[in-house]
Structure 1
Amino acid sequence: MMSSLFSVFDPCSGIFNLPLNWLSTLLGLVFLPYMYWSSPTRWVLVWNKITSTLYLEFQVLLGVKFSNFILMFVSLFGFIVFNNFLGLFPYIFTSTSHLVVTLSLSLPLWLGYMVFGWINHTQHMFAHLVPNGTPSVLMPFMVLIETISNVIRPGTLAVRLCANMIAGHLLLSLMGGAGVGMGTVLSFFLVMSQILLLLLESAVAVIQSYVFAILSTLYASEVV
């Protein structure tokens, strides 16, 4: 019996058809106790170095007075990268491959930016709709274009992360299913190709987490 290629993205488990696969989003909490050891491991030192670098980079964009927001964006990066990485392991559900998760991350952030910006910096928000040096004839069109580009931001953030996670997992599933009935030589090349693809997906997991966090920070820097 053939199963759907998208069955790996089904959040419902086989236990009374309950959506228990969403519990995989909490697996990142398993790694937190290692950060409180008296003698940290090498992985903890690497993670601390990554978060410190991100903190300094986000601080340049937001400034010192918004340090609380910087911690939020670093935590956002950590949440996404843990879910992306854990989804590469067998039998672990990738929650970031669903729009319901990615849009739940991007939409509240964008709404918060808009409410904060239009209430506290109204003139600054209006000025963003017309870039400097725009001819008077093109100003109505630029306002329309900038408004549309601003409105679709949460959607582009969500779809970018979701689509990249889906594409990699689908390709791994297709290559794994193609190995049935192959010879020894072809199976060897198939396994090597999957290993290389898995390394690529590991890089994509980090890159997409960074892109999501840095774009969220850039959007926030426009309204502060």
Structure 2
Amino acid sequence: MEFPEALRAVRRGRRLSQLELALRSGTTQRHLSFLESGRSQPGRGLVVRLGESMELSLRERNELLLAAGFAPVYPRTSLDDPALAHVHTALRHLLTGHLPFPAIVVDADHVLLLANDAFGLLTEGVAPYLLEPPVNVLRLSLHPDGLAPRILNLGHWAQHILDRLAPGALRDELTGYVPAVEVRPDHLGFAAPLRLKTDQGELRLTTTITSFATALDVTVAELKLEAFLPADAATAALLAG
């Protein structure tokens, strides 16, 4: 996609007018109009400012730079690279500090990268092939050979996951695994605790997701730490035991 088309598509996707984006990025509406029509060519600094002004992800900012003919600014480093050893160590500390409650780290594709020891309680009885790397945690959750048979509110929990997932092959696959949920007129959303049956009793869990808001590396910026928290005293006691 050429830069004028890419810029116009992203701006409209963010529901910004040319004037709003011009004011945010320190340029003029006239110049922005020329950029979107191909009558002007942007400098590298302006492309970076436009990406920041539209609050694009680092991956999207790199794509906008490439469309404009510039090299990507933000590196994409493997989490195993020594350069990210401090990030790896910090994540391990966070996971350990969340015990006795489960916590995991996933990448942008929902692939499991790290987990603490309590996560094993959630994966009891899961088919071994679903735990072979790379492990997609959404597939692990909703697959008939995964957690699904033990999720007592599977329909609503599945909808909670699907509502956050962009259209694509994975969403189509997961949709085929779960029952349809009727949405009533008084529906307030599917943000409900995960109710999971275990050998020790029922777990009722809520989740919180943490990301690196100030990261300048694509890999780090796309990491998500998902921590499971007890939704009632019985679950807290069960996990603590």
TM-score after normalising by structure 1: 0.27
**Relative contact order (alpha carbons < 8 A, sep ≥ 6): 1 or 2 greater?**
1
Tell me which protein shows more helix as a share of its residues.
Answer: 1
Greater fraction of residues in strand: 2
TM-score by length of 2: 0.26
